[in-house]
Structure 1
Amino acid sequence: MNFKTTLTYMCLVGVMATGAHAENKELLLGTMAVPGTTVEKASHLFAEKVAAEMPDQLSVIVNDSLLKGAQLAPSVRDGVVDAVVAVHPYLSGSEPVMGLQNLPGVIRTAEDYQGALSAFWREDLRGLWSENWNSHVVAEGAWATHNLFTTKPVETPEDFKGLKIRVHNAETARFISQLGALPTPLDASEMAAGLERGVIDGLFTPSCYAFKQELFRSASHIGNWQIGPIQGWAILINNDKWNALSAEEQAALTAAGEAVEAEMWASFAANTAECVDGMTAEGAVYFEASDEAMSAIFTEANTKPVFDDWKSRMADKGFDGEQTLDQAMKATASE
């Protein structure tokens, strides 16, 4: 083989290698740095499912240190990252459609949440993600059940009075204020210190987040009052990135998202139970409010102001809150 032939051969090999490398597309997925939670599990499960669908062709790179929770949705919208696991409650103040899950007494179980998604809510959210957040949604799921974590027992409606409680959405803030509690804004990074210093007396947070972040050591009383218990997350892909993918790649991401959603819902109850059991084994006290006690807080006098405020914000955004609420009530066990 002469020099010219050798050079030509090397160039061809180089072109083939470059082409093969280009076929292995990578999607950078931003997620919250919360090890052991359903969001963390869903992030890595999605990466695994995509790799199984298109080995050596499409990869999802999970980064849990790049963005804070409130930065996730804006970052995928603006193309800072290719994909994210976005968190609904952080957006409910400006996107009241996402506040449906927070309305008192409407969505109380994972089955309620899935029922609303299947009946109408998934399509409402899909449109919202696309129009306002420049994103294509491939999966909708939920954190482990949110409970109330407090430094002292909250076992009667009267126990809410005067408590400084950290909340992360407008609807729950309005509802607990009706109960006499004081909604207290606080960054997630400051929650542990806030509990220790008495800045807050408690907070609503996912069971697994409280367990893995050891918040239960300061707020050792776990109250299941079914106040905004099922809070959502969604795996989103930037629309521009999505539209640049081939039909085969889009199909693989869709299949991976559907598989993640199915597996996360199937393990939802077990994930929550594992974390609650882990906390009680460490000395935390778990309290489940009776139907009678919950009836005493979910009164019309307490819930109507929340619904009215939410419907007003829905109208401001061009949505019929009354119709959405009626659809939700028909789709859930709260009918």
Structure 2
Amino acid sequence: MRPPGERRMQMEDCMNRSVVFALAASVAAWSACAHAQTTEWTLAYLSVKGTIYEEVALAIPERIETATGGRLKITANSSLVKGDRLLESVRDGLVAIALPLPGYYSGTQPMFTVPSLPGISESYDDLKALSASDYGARIRVLYHDTYNATQLMETAFCPQTLFSTKPITTVEEWSGKKLRVNNRGTGLVGAELGAISVSLSAGEVLPALERGVIDGVITDTCWAHGAGFGSVISHASDWRLGSVAPSPVLVNNEAWAALPEDVRALVAAEFGKIEADFEARWRQRTAEMPALWRAAGIAYAEISDAEMARVYADAVQAPVLAVWKADMERAGLDADAVLQVARAAVGATR
């Protein structure tokens, strides 16, 4: 029989081991729980240097991780998905979140053409009014039902501006010019003015300008500046032909629903803050652009109201709207009702 002291020491040793094992199990369980509560998403976007669009894409990961205390981690990737497949990538769950370019889809989704119709979205305030209208609500339903995605926020590309190797400051100077456009609405207007629309990916634009394949491009002024267009173009003109294009941030519906409710609330609130912050950034950045172009030696023309009135005239606009309305009819949509809502939202009279 063991002495009492030895038995007591053995019991204490067993108790100590039990405590150690319990602590180890607790730590392991806590680690497993913490790991399970961390969600990781991939964000797909198109790399377009200098744009507010890209600034938003790159800001999201840090902002959301901080807002959620690390419970949602997002990795931004610009090489995983092509620019004209971003909607499909979020629809199919290839990525959880994406920043698509709606203009790229305006050939098959005529509702996306509305902001690029002349006289509709010519300022950030116009775009906000569109988003707050029934038109904006229908676009969000379209994202949800057709592309399996929920809109978390919306920002905008910098004003669409015509950059060219030759001056295009009058209606007559459009005639015969080969121009790259990024949406159906602008292409239709250009065609009515006698221009020839050329389809090119973003990466092909600068080389095409250098080689004279195209005479110009209508695109985001911030991207043109960031991509170095100033080295090959000599003219810029601010034709107001649907100047402010939307840039939504969309999340896959299943990925969104899978987040814990409290995390969803944190994420939604932070995206609201990101949207507000980048509205201010957009206004500041776009106000700088004309002076930056002039400082770079580019002839920057501000198109007069009188010259714009020639573009807004029925002789130009009626054929453009007729083609768009035919697109809408094929999609089973009421073009007149949609246009009425859009014009009322922005106070347009054209």
Partner of 1:168: 182
| More deviation, 154-163/31-40 | 31-40
Q: How many angstroms apart in 2 are the aligned matches of 1:235 and 1:171? A: 22
Partner of 2:104: 90
SS at match of 2:27: helix
- Counterpart-to-counterpart distance in 1, 2:257 and 2:181: 37
Tell me the distance in 2 between the aligned counterparts of 1:101 and 1:334: 12
Hey, what does 1:260 align to over in structure 2? 274
**Quick one: distance in 2 between partners of 1:27 and 1:274?**
34
* Correspondence for 1:126: 140
Name the CA distance, whole Å, in 2 between partners of 1:254 and 1:110. Answer: 22
8 A Cα contact 2:174 2:193, kept in partner: yes
CA distance in 1, matches of 2:187, 2:51: 24
| CA offset digits 1:276-334 (Å, max 9, x no partner) | 33332221121011011111122111111111111222222222110110111111131
Between the aligned partners of 1:254 and 1:217, the Cα distance in structure 2 is 41
Q: Say which SS state the counterpart of residue 161 (structure 2) adopts.
A: strand
Pick from 11, 35, 51 the counterpart of residue 37 of structure 1.
51
Q: Aligned residue for 2:238?
A: 224
| Alpha-carbon distance in 1 for matches of 2:77, 2:179 | 31
Which stretch of structure 1 is more off in the superposition, 34-43 or 78-87?
34-43
1:311 aligns with 2:325: yes
Normalised to the residue count of structure 2, the TM-score between the two structures is 0.91
1:43–1:322 distance in 2 versus 1, CA, 3 Å = same
Whether contact under 8 Å (2:68, 2:267) holds in the other structure is: no
- Which residue of 2 is the match for residue 102 of structure 1? 116
Structure index of larger Rg:
2
Q: Which residue of 1 aligns with 2:36?
A: 22
Q: Secondary structure at the match of 1:266?
A: helix
In structure 2, the partner of 1:298 is 312
Give the secondary-structure state (helix, strand or coil) at the position aligned to 2:150: strand
The residue type equivalent to 1:17 in the other structure is: S
Match for 2:239: what amino acid?
A: W
Q: Distance in 2 between matches of 1:230 and 1:309?
A: 22
How large is the Cα RMSD of the aligned pairs?
A: 1.7
Aligned counterpart in structure 1 of residue 195 of structure 2, from 181, 195, 202:
181
Q: What is residue 190 of structure 1 aligned with on the other side?
A: 204
1:278 matches 2:292: yes
Aligned partner of 1:204 in structure 2 is 218
* Aligned ranges 1:35-114 → 2 under 5 Å: 35-114=49-128
1:51 deviates by 2.6
Give the aligned residue type for 1:73. Answer: L
Moved more, 89-98 or 53-62: 53-62
Q: CA deviation at 1:239?
A: 0.8
Aligned length: 335
8 Å contact kept, 1:107–1:334: no
Matched, 1:237 2:240: no
Contact 2:121 2:245 in 1 (8 A): no
Deviation (angstroms), 1:29: 0.9
> Contact 2:106–2:183 (CA<8 Å) still a contact in 1?
yes
The whole-number CA distance in structure 2 between the counterparts of 1:176 and 1:55 is: 49
For residues 140-184 of structure 1, give each alpha carbon's deviation from its aligned partner in whole angstroms, at most 9, with x where no partner exists.
121011100000111111100000000111111111010001011
| 1:243 Cα deviation after fit | 1.4
Unaligned runs of 5+ in 1: none
Paired residues of 1:144 and 1:207 also in contact (CA < 8 A): yes
Secondary structure at 2:99's aligned position in 1?
Answer: strand
Deviation string 1:194-220 (CA, Å, 9 cap, x unpaired) is 001111000011011001101122122
Provide the rounded CA distance (Å) in 2 between the counterparts of 1:199 and 1:330. 40
Question: Contact (CA 8 Å) 1:211, 1:276: kept in 2 or not?
Answer: no
Secondary structure of the 2:48 match is: coil
- Structure 2: how far apart are the matches of 1:28 and 1:209? 24
Partners of 2:312 and 2:136 in 1: how far apart? 26
**Matched residues in 1 for 2:332 and 2:275: separation?**
29
| One-letter identity of the residue aligned with 1:136 | T
Structure 1 residue 4: deviation in Å? 6.4
- The one-letter amino acid paired with 2:92 is D
The unaligned stretches of length 5 or more in structure 2 are: 1-12
The offset of 1:65, in angstroms, is 2.8
Q: Is the 8 A contact 2:235 2:298 kept in 1?
A: yes
Q: CA deviation at 1:8?
A: 5.2
Residues 35, 196 of structure 1: CA spacing in aligned structure 2 closer, same or farther, 3 A cutoff?
closer
- Residue aligning to 2:4: none
Deviations 1:66-109 (A, max 9, x none): 22211211111111111011111011111111110111222222
Pair 1:141–1:121, CA change in 2 (3 A):
farther
Contact 1:97 1:125 in 2 (8 A): yes
